[in-house]
Amino acid sequence: MTSLAAELSAVVSAAFAAEGLSAKFGQVQASDRPDLAQFQCNGALAAAKEAKANPRQIAQKVADRLKAGPLFAKVEIAGPGFINLDVTDAALAERAGAMSADDRLGAPETGRGKTLVIDFGGPNVAKPMHVGHLRSAIIGDCLQRLFRANAWTVVSDVHLGDWGLQMGQLISEIGRRGTAPVYFDAACKGPYPDESPVTMDDLEEIYPAAAAACKADPARLEEARRATAELQAGRPGYLALWRHFVKVSERGLNREYSSLGVTFDLWNGEASVDPLIAPMIEDLKRRGLAVESEGALVIEVAEPGDKKEMPPLLLLKSDGAVLYGTTDLATIVDRVKHYDPELILYVVDQRQHGHFEQVFRAARKTQLSGKAILEHAGFGTMNGADGKPFKTRAGGVMKLYDLIAMTTDEAQKRLAEAGIAGDYPEEERNDIARKVGIAALKFADLSNYRLTDYIFDLARFTRFEGKTGPYLQYAAVRTQSILRKAEDEGFAAAAPVVRSPEERALVLQLLGLPGAMEAAEDKRAPNILCEYAFELAQSFSRFYAEHHILSEQDADLRAARLGLCRLTVDTLAKVLGILGIEIPQRM
RNA sequence: GACCCCGUAGCUCAACCGGAUAGAGCACUUGCCUUCUAAGCAAGGGGUUGCGUGUUCGAGUCACGCCGGGGUCGCCA
């Protein structure tokens, strides 16, 4: 199935071609002026520019050819040469029927036969997740769902930060405290205890203390560096301690991602590619691509024509330890070997753009990335109302766990106020509150364009009216409710028809699904889907307010409207599913 | 200093390849629950798109220059 806009583009393109003009001018899009037409084509203006001709004349010739077809209810030329198009109600209803009959609802298949590796999350061992981690988790999860929906084979990887200097900082801090001496006893050959000497709470306290100490005292930093190098060199006690850190952290992280409904196919860490590093470096040295510079081993990535200085990618520090560019490069080697992807997407803070530029250049130069296109889908920073990173009143960074709890609490309050769920079982009430809270959170984040910095506003994340996640859920819930009642009454559904302005608008919106999914994939932009879903819910709510469905006496019309409800709820469910938003049975 | 991102309504954000009258939500004003859930629907006010110049039939969008905010710039991640 193709989208209606794509179908119209093909028809209009053929008309341009028949006039001896390039078919590329036949692009049709939803109209910017819905009051004037459903669709528009601006190609006559561009064609006129190229051919140095009169745009209205070109538009007229194309329009004359279009008028001959049965598809259009209206073909008009407006302004300097826009071609405005309305499709017949019969054609709209027919497309809606076809969409209902397709279990993919006409979703694009841009990824058929292609593999995507998507890297997001990127939490660090021993550091609790705070609101800053929200964006990578939510945007990354949405993109993996979107690519899957568009028929890509998707492999997602949390890419745990478990192999850098911070590990050395933790180890040296614990060594100084003397709370787990067995791991530091060089004479001890193991085995080491199964029980972790630290809990997640311990780590959350130890890491900031260690980081602060290293910042204040160069000697401490040097000590942490040495510990990092020894860990990476395989010192048994350090490795055993490190395994505890990772295990303890993974449990905590998993809990937080689960509460957001975010999942990963792989829980690989930077450390998992460590065995690949030595051979990779040997290979790069042999090929003359890794060279020594200022005591470190680097890959030069500057290219002629660079506007800015492009420092080399550091593979090995002068003390022999690896850096995150090194593990990133080795991770590419690993992913190419295992999955041979068409695309590797990194959903990481935009501030790391420069780093990825270096890594990608190095990967291409060394041909380690195979056929894969490497792309950084960055996102903007989340700030507080004062333009600085969001803090709690106590001054600490707000933890993700607490944020989720707050949105859920607000949803509980809302349910109590509305008095709707008073008679529901407590379990269901909790479930609704959780789904509504998460929906508010995710939609508020995803509806912003990926790259803009945005202001974290707790009130916004706990808002349930207007352009919010709960509004979308509410539209779906009301539709489900109608369908349930219709079933109780024994009313059957039939293919949709278009007999009113509200139905026309709703069907047009429904038919826009494939286009929205394709555009969102192209731009890696969840906000396009948010916009689509919101407009769909709005179109439905208008239809709902205007036409009473179950009391409709005309049985055929009632059946057609039930069919329209069915398609609406299926479409909403599909888009909300991609956004990672669950729909309660009732709310 | 160089480079990257951003600047749109009181607030938070949109605007697909340069298109017509720059759109939503919140907040504000006013209607609508004795037939499907009012977390809703309908209507209204609110804009020199930071400033300037240029390209174009046409600029929030492209180019250049300012102003303002954020970020990055070899051994942190």
Q: List Cα–Cα distances, A72 to A65, A411, A536, in angstroms.
A: 11, 47, 23
Kindly state whether residues A55 and A195 are assigned to the same domain.
no
Which residues in chain A, range 137-166, keep a C-beta under 7 Å from any nucleic strand B atom? 161, 163-166
CA atoms within 13 A on the CB side of A522: 8
What pLDDT score was predicted for residue A396?
Answer: 63
Kindly state whether residues A81 and A170 are assigned to the same domain.
no
Is residue A56 a part of any domain in this protein?
yes
CA separation for the pair A34, A340 (Å, rounded): 45
Nearest nucleotide from residue A542 CA, by C1' atom:
B41
Strand partners, A135: none
Span CA (A289) to C1' (B49), Å: 48
Kindly state whether residues A74 and A189 are assigned to the same domain.
no
Kindly state the helix (H) or strand (E) to which residue A368 belongs, with its residue range.
Answer: none
CA separation for the pair A475, A336 (Å, rounded): 43
Q: Does the CB of A314 fall within 7 Å of any strand B atom?
A: yes
Q: Does the CB of A417 fall within 7 Å of any strand B atom?
A: no
Kindly state whether residues A49 and A179 are assigned to the same domain.
no
Kindly state whether residues A471 and A559 are assigned to the same domain.
yes
Token readout for A170 is: 């933790």
CA separation for the pair A231, A247 (Å, rounded): 16
Is A396 in contact with A367 (CB distance < 8 Å)? no
Q: Does the CB of A380 fall within 7 Å of any strand B atom?
A: yes
Span CA (A33) to C1' (B54), Å: 30
Which residue's C-alpha is at the least distance from the C1' of B35?
A: A551
Count other C-beta atoms under 10 Å from residue A30's C-beta. Answer: 16
CA separation for the pair A158, A156 (Å, rounded): 7
Which domain range does residue A183 map to? Answer: 165-248
Span CA (A78) to C1' (B10), Å: 37
Which residue's C-alpha is at the least distance from the C1' of B37?
A: A478
Kindly state whether residues A442 and A558 are assigned to the same domain.
yes
Is A362 in contact with A325 (CB distance < 8 Å)? yes
Kindly state whether residues A466 and A556 are assigned to the same domain.
yes
CA separation for the pair A252, A245 (Å, rounded): 11
CA separation for the pair A83, A57 (Å, rounded): 11
Which ranges of A52-101 would DSSP assign to H, the alpha helix?
A: 55-67, 89-101
CA separation for the pair A301, A365 (Å, rounded): 8
Is residue A502 a part of any domain in this protein?
yes
Last residue of a domain, one of A223, A248, A273: A248
Domain count along chain A = 3
Is residue A343 a part of any domain in this protein?
no
The answer to whether the Cα torsion of A128, A134, A138, A141 is positive or negative is negative
Is A23 in contact with A16 (CB distance < 8 Å)? yes
Report how far Cα A237 is from the mean position of its chain's Cα atoms: 39
Count other C-beta atoms under 10 Å from residue A52's C-beta. Answer: 6
SS3 state at A30: strand
What pLDDT score was predicted for residue A391?
Answer: 60
Count other C-beta atoms under 10 Å from residue A73's C-beta. Answer: 15
Last residue of a domain, one of A56, A87, A118: A87
Which residue's C-alpha is at the least distance from the C1' of B13?
A: A448
Is residue A382 a part of any domain in this protein?
no
Kindly state whether residues A39 and A176 are assigned to the same domain.
no
Is residue A389 a part of any domain in this protein?
no
Kindly state whether residues A417 and A509 are assigned to the same domain.
yes
Is residue A461 a part of any domain in this protein?
yes
Is residue A458 a part of any domain in this protein?
yes
Nucleotides of strand B within 7 Å of the protein's CB atoms: 2-7, 12-17, 19-21, 24-27, 35-42, 56-58, 69-77
SS3 state at A349: strand
Kindly state the helix (H) or strand (E) to which residue A217 belongs, with its residue range.
Answer: none
Span CA (A223) to C1' (B23), Å: 57
pLDDT by residue, tens only, chain A of 587 residues: 678 999 999 999 999 999 999 998 999 999 988 889 999 999 999 898 888 888 999 999 999 999 988 999 999 999 889 999 999 999 999 999 999 999 999 999 999 999 999 999 989 898 878 877 888 999 999 999 999 999 999 999 999 999 888 899 999 999 999 999 999 998 888 799 999 999 999 998 999 889 889 988 889 999 999 999 899 889 999 999 999 999 999 999 999 999 999 999 999 999 999 999 999 999 999 999 999 999 999 999 988 777 778 899 999 999 888 888 999 999 999 999 999 999 999 999 888 988 999 999 999 999 999 999 999 998 988 777 666 656 655 556 778 888 899 999 999 999 888 777 778 899 999 999 999 999 999 999 999 988 888 877 788 889 999 999 999 999 999 999 999 999 999 999 999 999 999 999 999 999 999 999 999 999 999 999 999 999 999 999 999 999 999 999 999 999 999 999 999 999 999 999 999 999 999 99
Q: Does the CB of A226 fall within 7 Å of any strand B atom?
A: no
CA separation for the pair A154, A525 (Å, rounded): 17
Is A100 in contact with A567 (CB distance < 8 Å)? yes
CATH number for position A82: 3.30.1360.70
Strand partners, A322: A316
Is residue A42 a part of any domain in this protein?
yes
CATH number for position A512: 1.10.730.10
Task: Identify the residue whose tokens are 């290219």.
Answer: A303
* Closest-CA residue to A198 (of A257, A126, A127, A267): A126
Q: Does the CB of A353 fall within 7 Å of any strand B atom?
A: yes
Kindly state whether residues A50 and A199 are assigned to the same domain.
no
Last residue of a domain, one of A248, A264, A292: A248
Which ranges of A112-195 would DSSP assign to H, the alpha helix?
A: 134-149, 165-177
Q: List Cα–Cα distances, A538 to A468, A471, A473, A557, in angstroms.
A: 12, 9, 12, 22
Kindly state whether residues A83 and A171 are assigned to the same domain.
no
Kindly state whether residues A178 and A68 are assigned to the same domain.
no
